[in-house]
């Protein structure tokens, strides 16, 4: 039903329509942008306008930073139990509103509804996990030292850094967002969040639930803005004197730019950037298992995930067997269709631009000698991209160096373990990698040798809130998830006490 909020009919009726809004959440209030500008949000499944939300400018964000700073003065002193309770309330709100939140994710992202629903469990778990850490506190040490004739003791405590600004992408509008915000709030920081222009309705609904959870005004602020405003907002975050930490997930190019700006102003930054994961399958691997894991790793969210398998490296001799099994599994399991249909496992890409990038990489690979093993049924201009498999990929092809971000499997081969490691590490990014072999020594050897922040050994599913999530080299700095996420949002203070 079309509503005052949505500009078009959708195949879903919201249980709680008050989760929908077009405004931004600043200092505990819902506001339009100061200059009343808006921008259009598109439904990727038909590329029609879904809603017009506030296009906040730097003036709006400055107010939010002030509100977050004021809120920090008291929020930092909230007891660990009280912070934990607020995060648990938020988690419960997310669980109670799973269906509506999932529908918004499907609407804005084109993610199949069943996948969207699953992603909400991860999001709620994230809030509960950090509620628990908020309650436990960040710990500290007592260090004996030799100053003052051995009469000094050094204590360390961890204190919240202050105002944290978060910039998030479109591909994971709940768990990807909460992986940043929940640890910051657990640590006692306050937050100003700029969500991706593609998924503002998800961010708005999440903020409504945050408000209902009882967080004091200004602790969490969320402002939507268009792509045109992004660079100015980013610059403000990196230079504003009251901002102590910037946390960003997105492309390496934007991360590098923000990193330079934060460096110039000596601000802390956490960056989760692009990947180019190798998925290595050795001769002695259980091929059925490897194919099953590849399917989960590659087609989740239509491959639009930074830890998706970008380069499938197969030991020479298994490629025929492996590709036959892969093609059969795709035919049996992958259903391209409307994200609202229950049996759809592959929805549309988030935008036409995603399909254009795949066509570019595919065209380049085919020209240099790769072979497409699946029928090329893609229709120009569509956001629906069919599951595709490309063999004969070599390291000179662009598809080996760039993120595909789509449901196209690119297969290369290797002779030896050394060559597999060398091929896997021949890129500047280092986010995730995957290894399949029944030889435990080789499994560990290769897992240790991969230049990546995360390795799936005999698995293609590595996302979990308990896991330190992040990369090395061009894939970023710092870790999200796990207890290490709290370190990002706290400073160590050493207190020397003379006895």
The whole-angstrom separation of Cα 105 and Cα 204 is 12
Distance set, CA 177 to CA 192, 193, 249 (Å)? 12, 9, 9
Stretch 208-227: interaction string toward ligand ADP, x if CB under 6 A: -------------------x
Which residues partner with 496 through β-bridges?
Answer: 154
Residues 231-290 contacting ligand ADP, CB under 6 A = 231, 234, 250-251, 254, 257-258
Q: Is 478 in the site for ligand ADP (CB under 6 A)?
A: no
Question: At 436, which helix (H) or strand (E)?
Answer: strand 432-436
Which residues partner with 491 through β-bridges?
Answer: 159
Give the DSSP letter of residue 469. B
The whole-angstrom separation of Cα 126 and Cα 332 is 33
Least CB distance to ligand ADP at residue 248 (A): 7
Output 168 or 429, the one with its CB closest to ligand ADP. Answer: 168
Output 168 or 323, the one with its CB closest to ligand ADP. Answer: 168
* Binding-residue total with ligand ADP (CB under 6 A): 16
The whole-angstrom separation of Cα 194 and Cα 220 is 11
Least CB distance to ligand ADP at residue 223 (A): 11
Nearest residue to ligand ADP by CB is 234
Annotated active-site residue 306? The verdict is yes
* Residue 158 contacts residue 140 (beta carbons within 8 Å): yes
Phi, psi of 135 (to 5 degrees): -70, -35
- Of 42, 108, 272, 488, the active-site residue reads 272
Least CB distance to ligand ADP at residue 234 (A): 2
Short-list 307, 284, 308, CA closest to 410 = 308
Least CB distance to ligand ADP at residue 227 (A): 6
Annotated active-site residue 324? The verdict is no
Question: At 311, which helix (H) or strand (E)?
Answer: strand 309-315
Residues 150-179 contacting ligand ADP, CB under 6 A = 167-170
* Residue 166 contacts residue 196 (beta carbons within 8 Å): no
Residues 38-77 contacting ligand ADP, CB under 6 A = none
Least CB distance to ligand ADP at residue 163 (A): 17
- Of 306, 319, 403, 487, the active-site residue reads 306
Residues 178-197 contacting ligand ADP, CB under 6 A = 194, 196-197
The whole-angstrom separation of Cα 431 and Cα 447 is 13
Q: Indicate which residues carry an active-site annotation.
A: 272, 306
Residues that bind ligand ADP (CB under 6 A): 167-170, 194, 196-197, 227, 230-231, 234, 250-251, 254, 257-258
């Amino acid at each position: 039903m079309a509503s005052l909020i949505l500009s078009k009919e959708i195949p879903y009726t919201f249980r709680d329509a008050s989760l929908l809004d077009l405004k931004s959440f600043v200092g505990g209030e819902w506001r339009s942008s100061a200059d009343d500008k808006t921008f259009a949000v598109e439904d990727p499944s038909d590329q029609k306008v879904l809603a017009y939300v506030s296009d906040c400018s730097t003036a709006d964000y400055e107010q939010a930073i002030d509100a977050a700073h004021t809120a920090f003065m008291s929020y930092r002193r909230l007891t660990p139990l009280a912070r934990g309770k607020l995060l648990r309330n938020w988690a419960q709100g997310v669980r109670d509103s799973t269906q509506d939140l999932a529908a918004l994710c499907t609407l804005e992202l084109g993610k199949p509804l069943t996948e969207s629903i699953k992603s909400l469990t991860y999001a709620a778990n994230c809030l509960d996990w950090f509620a628990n850490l908020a309650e436990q506190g960040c710990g500290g040490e007592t260090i004996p030292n030799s100053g003052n004739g051995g009469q000094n003791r050094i204590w360390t405590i961890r204190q919240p850094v202050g105002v944290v600004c978060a910039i998030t992408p479109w591909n994971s509008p709940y768990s990807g967002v909460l992986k940043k915000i929940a640890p910051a709030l657990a640590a006692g920081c306050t937050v100003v969040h700029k969500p991706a222009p593609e998924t503002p309705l998800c961010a708005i609904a999440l903020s409504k639930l945050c408000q209902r959870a009882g967080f004091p005004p200004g602790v969490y602020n969320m402002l939507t803005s268009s792509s045109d405003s992004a660079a100015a907002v980013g610059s403000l975050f990196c230079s504003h004197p009251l901002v102590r930490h910037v946390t960003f997930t997105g492309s390496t190019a934007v991360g590098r730019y923000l990193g330079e700006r934060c460096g110039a102003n000596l601000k802390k930054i956490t960056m989760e950037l692009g990947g180019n994961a190798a998925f290595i399958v050795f001769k002695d691997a259980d091929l059925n298992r490897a194919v099953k894991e590849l399917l989960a790793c590659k087609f989740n969210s239509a491959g639009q995930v930074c830890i998706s398998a970008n380069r499938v490296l197969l030991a020479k001799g298994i490629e025929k067997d492996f590709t036959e099994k892969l093609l059969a599994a795709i035919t049996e399991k992958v259903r391209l269709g409307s994200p609202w249909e229950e049996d759809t496992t592959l929805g549309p890409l988030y935008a036409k631009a995603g399909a254009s990038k795949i066509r570019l990489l595919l065209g380049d690979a085919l020209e240099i000698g790769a072979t497409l093993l699946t029928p090329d049924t893609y229709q120009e201009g569509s956001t629906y991209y069919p599951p595709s498999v490309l063999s004969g990929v070599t390291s000179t092809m662009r598809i080996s160096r760039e993120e595909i971000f789509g449901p196209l499997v690119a297969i290369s081969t290797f002779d030896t373990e050394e060559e597999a490691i060398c091929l896997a590490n021949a890129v500047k990014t280092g986010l995730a990698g995957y290894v399949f072999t029944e030889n435990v020594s080789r499994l560990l050897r290769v897992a240790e040798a991969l230049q990546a922040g995360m390795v799936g050994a005999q698995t293609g599913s590595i996302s979990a809130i308990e896991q330190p999530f992040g990369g090395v080299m061009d894939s970023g700095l710092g870790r999200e998830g796990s207890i290490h996420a709290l370190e990002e949002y706290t400073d160590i203070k050493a207190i020397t006490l003379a006895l």
